[in-house]
Amino acid sequence: MIANKLIADIHCIEPIPCNPCETSCPFGAITIGSDITNLPVVHEDLCRGCGICLAVCPGLAIRLLQMDNGNNRAIVAFPYEYHPLPQKGDLVTVVNMEGLPLGQGTVTRLQKPIKNDPTQLVFVEVDPSIAQEVRSMERLKDNDLEEELIICRCEEVTRKEILNAIQKGDHSLDAVKRRTRAGMGLCQGKSCSKLVSRMICEQTNITPDQLAPASKRQPVNPISLKTMASTSDKPLFRDLDALARELDNEVK
């Protein structure tokens, strides 16, 4: 194998009827032959490492491999069809055929070899000692899903909205409340204020004892405007003895 050149490396292992790799290669670098169940053969001298075969292979059974990139590091590229995608420069955990971690690698490039086809190739720089075994990478956690978690149920404010507010400098319960409405709903922050406090503390250097409780305004419980407006001109009670008798009757 040519060590310093990026070349297709096929781990197609079964005689199944399939040959897109052969027909898609613009350089004639892959041969299957007339029997469509033959296993493909790569002609290393013809392969230019364009990656088209990686994206067309229905079994995702091809990778690109360069054992030495000139800096004693190896480059592996593999198709990756999950969301979210890694970004250039990300440190990812590369895995073997069984999905077991081999070590860390740095994403050097992302490429879509076929126009209008979403299959993405991820190029990862790894230590040459593990390069032969690398087949893919560990799936990245979908933070979006986590960020869609509802923190304030009453006002349906998500974790993402609160994180954004904290990032914009809202470092108190009141500030987050003003921007996002978290804590302004029916329960008046009884469910979410500790969750929001924890998020502020996690994202900043603030400790929980430094966080003042959110300001509380009357009415402390939800009541209708009518109730608030109809504050009685008559007192609730005048004569305590009469009240006592009345309440006593209620109990009985």
Q: Does 215 bind other proteins (CB under 8 A)?
A: yes
Q: Which of 54, 47, 46, 102 is nearest to 74 (CA)?
A: 102
Closer residue to other proteins (CB): 180 or 188: 188
Q: Cβ of residue 197: shortest distance to other proteins, in angstroms? A: 8
CA 181-184-220 angle, to 5 degrees, is 165
Q: Binders of other proteins among 180-199, rule CB under 8 A? A: 188, 190-195, 197
Q: Is 143 in the site for other proteins (CB under 8 A)?
A: no
Phi, psi dihedral angles at 115 (to 5 degrees):
-60, 140
216 binds other proteins (CB under 8 A): yes
Cα radius of gyration rounded to whole Å, the chain: 32
Using alpha carbons, select from 135, 224, 214 the residue that is nearest to residue 177: 214
Which of 120, 159, 166, 182 touches other proteins by CB under 8 A? Answer: 159
Q: How far apart are CA 15 and CA 38, in angstroms?
A: 6
The least CB distance from residue 234 to other proteins, in Å, is: 6
Q: Where are the alpha helices (DSSP H) in 57-134?
A: 128-131
Of 13, 58, 70, 238, the one binding other proteins by CB under 8 A: 238
Sites of contact with other proteins (CB under 8 A): 141, 145-146, 149-151, 153, 159, 188, 190-195, 197, 208-209, 211-213, 215-221, 223-224, 226-228, 230-238, 240, 243-244, 247-248, 250-251
